[in-house]
Amino acid sequence: MHKDLEEIILHEAEIEQRVKELGDAIAKDYKCQEPLLICILRGAVIFFADLCRAIDIPVQMGFVSLSSYKDGTSSTGNVEERQKLMADVKGKAVILVEDIIDTGLTLKDYSQNLLDRGAESVEICCLLKKPEQVHNVDVQYQGFDIENRFVVGYGLDYAEQYRNLPYVGILKKEIYS
């Protein structure tokens, strides 16, 4: 385990198993469509790469960078579009792929934005969900429920570190306080 972590909460093997299940579910639900999977950079990038390869039907890929966090560990309440989506969403069955839902603000705001731009449907696939969701977002595909602690690894960072850890763990408080 990395020295800055207090505890590993999700090991590589359990993540791999769950991602496979999510991929199977998506392939089954979208077997008559070619969904556009949108990766919310940068936190979802590892999950996205594994998920896409677990989906056994043709998919399209898009990438966007959104952030409601600056370099801190709590939400600022503002969604910022840092890198625009290049894919055309008009008439597409979109699946937004996110690393973690905390307040739900990021996804609520962005799902509506895509519908306004003509997406036929927008569903959400997230790896992790925290318990204190304030904004009401329907999550169709979800990996794991986790407690309300700040986690890193498997794409999730703190100040751009720890993204390449193959597991998800709780960062020691002394690292960010």
Question: Could you list the residues that contact ligand 5GP (CB under 6 A)?
Answer: 43, 68-69, 75, 98-106, 150-152, 156-158
Q: Which residue is catalytic, options 102, 138, 145, 157?
A: 102
Burial category of 104 from C-beta neighbours within 10 Å (exposed 0-12, middle 13-18, buried 19 and up): buried
Report, in Å, the least distance between residue 17 CB and ligand 5GP: 22
Q: From CA 104, how far away is CA 89, in angstroms rounded? A: 21
Q: From CA 50, how far away is CA 88, in angstroms rounded? A: 23
> The tokens 């609520």 sit on which residue?
108
Report, in Å, the least distance between residue 12 CB and ligand 5GP: 18
List the structure tokens of 124: 């959400």
Report, in Å, the least distance between residue 68 CB and ligand 5GP: 4
Angle subtended at Cα 21 by Cα 19 and Cα 22, rounded to the nearest 5 degrees: 65
C-beta of 69 vs 144, nearer to ligand 5GP:
69
Q: Which residues pair with 41 in a beta bridge?
A: 65
Report, in Å, the least distance between residue 90 CB and ligand 5GP: 25
C-beta of 30 vs 167, nearer to ligand 5GP:
167
Q: From CA 11, how far away is CA 174, in angstroms rounded? A: 23
Q: From CA 108, how far away is CA 37, in angstroms rounded? A: 17
C-beta of 50 vs 157, nearer to ligand 5GP:
157
C-beta of 34 vs 132, nearer to ligand 5GP:
132
102 noted as active-site residue: yes
| Active site positions, annotated | 102
